[in-house]
A and B are shown apart, each in its own frame.
Chain A
Amino acid sequence: MTLRRPLKYWAILKTQLLNSLAYPADLASRSLTIALFMWMFVQLWRATYRSAGQETIAGLTLRDTLWYLMMAETIVLSKPRLSRTIAEAVKNGEIAYLLNRPYSFLLYQASVGVGDSLLRLALNALTGGALVWATVGPPPDPRGWLLVLPAVALAWTIDFCIAAMIGLIAFVTEETVAFEWIYGKLMLILGGVLIPLDFFPAWLRSIALAMPFACAIYGPARLFVEPDPARLLSLLMIQGIWVMALGLLLTALYRRGVAWLTINGG
C-alpha cells in the first residue's frame, strides 16, 4: 500500500521522459546553447590563463576550470524550470483543481520537471563535454562522473525548493517574473556558474559559501573536477541540511497558500 504512493510519481516522471523524446529537434537545438557558452568560455579563459602567465590560478588549471564550468553550466541549463509553471497554476486558479487530485501538487510538479529534464541533462553533458574534451582533453578524473550524480540530484532538489517558493509568491503578487530573473542571476554569480568561487576575493567567497546557491552549483562542479569520497560526503551533508531547511520552508508556505485558497476561493 505505502509503496504505491512514490511509485505514481515515478510513473509520472517516466511519462514525461517519454514525452520529451517526441521532439528531438527541439532537444537538439537547445544543446546548442551550452555549446555556445562553453566555446565562449574556452576563448575567455584560455586568454586569461595565457596573460596571467601561470599554469594554475587558485589551484585550478585551465583544464580544471573549463571542466568545472562545463559541469556548472550543465546543471544550470538542464534543470527543470518550474517557477513559471507553478506561478501560472496559482495565478489562473488551476491549482485549486489540482488540489483535488490524489497526489501532491508539489511532488507532481517535481516529477514532471525531472522527467522532462533528464534527457536535456544527458544531451547537455554530452555536447558540452565533447566540446571541452576537444579543446583541453579529458576531465581531470573519470570518477568525477559517478560521484557527481548524487550531488546533482540534491542540487536540483535545492533549486526546486527555491524555484517553487518563487512560484508560490504568485499567491501574494501577480508579478513573479522579476524574482525569477534575480534568482537566476544570483545563482549565476554566487553559485559560481560563470566563475569558480575559488577565484573570488576571500570575503565574498565566505558569503557565497554560506548560501544554498554554492552547494547547488559550485559544490558538485568543484567535486567533479577533484573527486574525492570525503569531499562528496561533506557536500552531501551540507546539501542535505539545505534541502531540509528549504523543504520545510516550502511546505510551510505551500500549506499557508493552500489554506488561504480554500478559505478565499480561487
Chain B
Amino acid sequence: MRRELTFLLALWKANLLAAMEYRVAFISQVVGMMLNNAVYFLFWVLFFDRFQQVRGWGLNEMLILFGVVAAGFGLGVYLFGNALTLADVISGGRLDYYLSLPRPVLLHALASRSIVSGLGDAAYGLISFALAGHYTPDAVGRFALGALLSATIFLSFLVLTQSLAFYLGNATQLSAQATQAIIAFSLYPITLFDGTAKLLLFTVLPAAFMGAVPAEFVREFTWSTLAQLLTAALAFLSLALTVFHRGLRRYESGSAIQVEV
C-alpha cells in the first residue's frame, strides 16, 4: 500500500512538473475553467432570481451542489486524468506498456495523465461552497468527505463504462455519452425526477450519489446519508475494479480486441 502511495506521489509530481513547463497554458486552463463554470452557474442565478425555488431547491442548495461536484470532479480528473480516456488507452493497445511494469495496471494507467483544468474545477468548487455560507468546521469536513466520495463514485463509473472497450473494441463514443450524462444529471436538482428516472439515477447512472446525496450530506449530517454514500462508493469501486480486471484477463488472453501480429 505504502509503496503504491510513494509511486503515485512520484507520478503526480511528474505530471505537475510537465504541466508547469507551460505556464501560460496552465494558468489559462485553470482560470478559464473557473470562468467557464461561473458563467454556466449564472443560469441558476438567473433562474432562482426569477423563480425563487423549484421543488425545494433554491440558490443555496445549488451552490452546495456545484461546490461538491466540481471539487470532486476537478480533483478526480486532475489526479486520475486517464479515467476520461481509458477506453482509448485500451483500444490503442497502450495497456501493454503498463503491463510490462511492476505496478498495478489500473492505478498506473489512470494516474499517468493529468487534466490541468481540473484544478480550475476544484477551485471553483471551493468558492461555490464558500459562497453558500456554511463555515462551521464540521461543515467543511463534510464538504471534503463529500467531495472525496463523489469523486470516488464518478471515477468508478468512468472505469466501468470505459472498460467496455475490452468487450466492444471501440467504446469511445458510448463512454463519452455516459460521462456527459452523469455529469449533467449530477448538477440538477434531484427532486425534479420521479419514479423510474430517479431509480436510474441511484443505480445504473449514479448521478445522485455523485451530486445530490453528497450535497445533502454537506447541508446536514445524518448517519443515513453517510451510510448511503459510503456503501455506494464501496459498491461502485468494487464493481469497477472487478469489471476492469475481468476485462484485463480477457485482454491478456488476446481475445479482447484488434490483434497486432
The interface size of chain B toward A, counting residues with CB under 8 Å, comes to 34
Which of A25, A40, A182, A201 touches B184 (beta carbons < 8 Å)? A40
Contact, CB under 8 Å: B36 / A182: yes
A3 at the interface (CB under 8 A from B): no
Please report the C-alpha to C-alpha distance between residue A199 and residue B28 in the assembled complex, in whole angstroms.
33
Interface of A is mostly: helix
A174 at the interface (CB under 8 A from B): yes
Instruction: Return the chain B residue nearest A51 by Cβ.
Output: B54
Contact, CB under 8 Å: B43 / A177: no
Q: A40-B185, A199-B50 are in contact. Are A29 and B173 (CB under 8 A)?
A: yes
Please report the C-alpha to C-alpha distance between residue A26 and residue B55 in the assembled complex, in whole angstroms.
36
Contact, CB under 8 Å: A194 / B43: yes
| Set of chain A residues within 8 Å of B42, measured between Cβ atoms | 189
Please report the C-alpha to C-alpha distance between residue A48 and residue B29 in the assembled complex, in whole angstroms.
35
Instruction: Return the chain B residue nearest A186 by Cβ.
Output: B39
Please report the C-alpha to C-alpha distance between residue A26 and residue B171 in the assembled complex, in whole angstroms.
11
Question: Would you give the 0/1 interface string for A93-115, flagging 1 where the beta carbon is closer than 8 Å to chain B?
Answer: 00000000000000000000000
Return B185 CB to nearest CB of chain A, in Å: 7
Return B188 CB to nearest CB of chain A, in Å: 6
Q: A36-B180, A43-B192 are in contact. Are A52 and B51 (CB under 8 A)?
A: yes
The interface size of chain A toward B, counting residues with CB under 8 Å, comes to 34
| Set of chain B residues within 8 Å of A201, measured between Cβ atoms | 46, 49-50
A255 at the interface (CB under 8 A from B): no
User: Which residues in window 42-91 of B have CB below 8 A to A?
Assistant: 42-43, 46-47, 49-51, 53-55
Question: Would you give the 0/1 interface string for B194-211, flagging 1 where the beta carbon is closer than 8 Å to chain A?
Answer: 000100000000000000
Contact, CB under 8 Å: B192 / A44: yes
Return B235 CB to nearest CB of chain A, in Å: 25
| Set of chain A residues within 8 Å of B29, measured between Cβ atoms | 175, 177-178
Interface residues of B (CB under 8 A from A): 24-25, 28-29, 31-33, 35-36, 39-40, 42-43, 46-47, 49-51, 53-55, 173-174, 177, 180-181, 184-185, 188-189, 191-193, 197
